[in-house]
Amino acid sequence: MKLVFIGPPGAGKGTQAASVGKKYGIPHISTGEILRQEIANKTDLGRQAEELISAGLLVPDDVMVGIIKNRLAMPDCEQGFLLDGFPRTIQQAEELARFVDLDVVLNLDIPAEKIVRRISSRRMCRDCGRIVSGNDHAKNACPECGGELFQRDDDTEETVRSRIAVYETQTKPLLAYYREKGKLVNLDGDRPVEEVFSDICGVLEQYKSI
Ligand code: AMP
């Protein structure tokens, strides 16, 4: 299965993509996570990306396409993969279509007014990368592995507002793009995580049986 998750920031893409990747045994490729690793490792790419990310802006298309091309050429992607956070622009989608025929694009949607609250109250585990929602991080330890939780630099209210604006102008046009290609499936992400996950699995079972 070759899948893409799209949706506004905070819609639950990372959480769902991690669970789906685990269940179906396909790599979960998060471009945001790849960039955060580059920043942590202080590479040239990390230095280039850091300022843009903390301003809530996108990293240039050619850089992102290069990253994805390299990643998808790795042997673990032969049986399929799941992209989380890529493509984010029409140009990225067009470049991707040159070398990959996607099976399905899952759009997780949530109402705009819920995004800021959801994101500014979430935390991430330093060890396993799990996203922990506002209600679940009272002990400041990851429920999965016990690792330390932290707030992403770009999860502050000001940066989230800029990420929402970037989503509206640059990423949202992908919905029409993939709808026209007959690849888009819309799901309501404003529900309990387990409910959304079960709907996603229902959609994927249909694709598997085709
Ligand atoms: P995410 O973890 O998906 O929310 O991504 C965090 C940040 O990384 C985004 O706000 C962008 O600045 C950058 N980023 C991640 N994926 C892409 C992409 N496909 N194109 C451009 N920038 C990206």
Express each pLDDT in 32-69 by its tens digit: 999 999 999 999 999 999 999 999 999 999 999 999 99
Cis peptide before 87 (omega within 30 of 0): yes
The better pLDDT of the pair 39, 138 is held by 39
Containing 106, the helix (H) or strand (E) segment is strand 104-109
- Cβ(107) to ligand 1 under 6 A? no
Per-residue pLDDT at 199:
97
As given in the structure block, the two tokens for residue 75 are: 């042997």
Q: How many helices (H) and strands (E) does the chain have?
A: 9, 8
pLDDT band (50, 70, 90) for residue 182: very high
Nearest atom within ligand 1 for CA of residue 33: 2
Smallest CA-to-CA distance from 62 within 41, 89, 39, 22 is with 89
Annotated catalytic residue, options 2, 13, 118, 123: 13
- Cβ(86) to ligand 1 under 6 A? yes
Residue 130 has pLDDT above 60, yes or no: yes
- Cβ(163) to ligand 1 under 6 A? yes
Smallest CA-to-CA distance from 17 within 9, 26, 58, 114 is with 26
pLDDT band (50, 70, 90) for residue 137: low
Annotated catalytic residue, options 71, 126, 152, 179: 152
- Cβ(58) to ligand 1 under 6 A? yes
